[in-house]
Amino acid sequence: MKVYIGKYKNWIGPYQVTDWMRKFLSDDKVNKIAEALPIKPFEWVRDARNRKIKIRIDHYDVWSMDHTLAYIIHPMLLKMKEDKHGAPFVDDIDVPAELRSDASDAVPSEDGSTDSNFFQRWDWVIDQMIYSFSAILNDEKEDSFFDIDENGKHTFDKEGYEKEYTKVQNGLVLFGKYYRSLWT
């Protein structure tokens, strides 16, 4: 697999072109000039400046694709958590009781205001996703549920395995549910 995704192209429009005029003219005059400029040429320039994307997928990349994609998704989730710029609305059912909106000082209202746990809910969801992809990358994790007892008999910790599987699966379900919210 080889992936190259270039950076987003900056929008250049009438206001960006006339911005340098602010040194010499008032904001009102600059805004009037910018509003008078036709938008079509700027759209042509935008459309001609595509983001460079090159992706090559080899046949072995799709073998255990969940593991292959985890190599990309896990560090991206870590970076997003570090650099996040906001948070989406997270359903109360997806978080522990202490993070739910009814457990905080205010319930989100119709006007878009948020409660004191708003950002903590998103942090919790991101942490669940990070845990899941980290577990997928940890090849030795599943081995920890197998052991050999004092008699040399192989044992399997079914309860521990099911608990871990449920936690990992929950993070993956949250990843799917909030996939369109990974812009933050």
Dump pLDDT digits (tens) for 148-180. 888 888 889 999 999 999 999 999 999 999 999
Distance CA 18, CA 117 (A): 42
Q: Which residue has the higher pLDDT, 93 or 38?
A: 93
pLDDT for 140-150, tens place per residue? Answer: 887 888 888 88
- pTM > 0.85: yes or no: no
Give me the chain's average pLDDT, please: 87
Cα(first)–Cα(last) distance of the chain, in Å? 27
Contacts of 115 (CB under 8 A, 6+ apart): 101, 104, 105, 106, 107, 108
pLDDT for 83-129, tens place per residue? Answer: 988 999 999 999 999 999 876 555 545 666 788 899 999 999 999 99
Q: Determine if residue 88 is left, alpha or beta; phi over 0 gives left, psi from -120 to 50 gives alpha, anything else beta.
A: beta
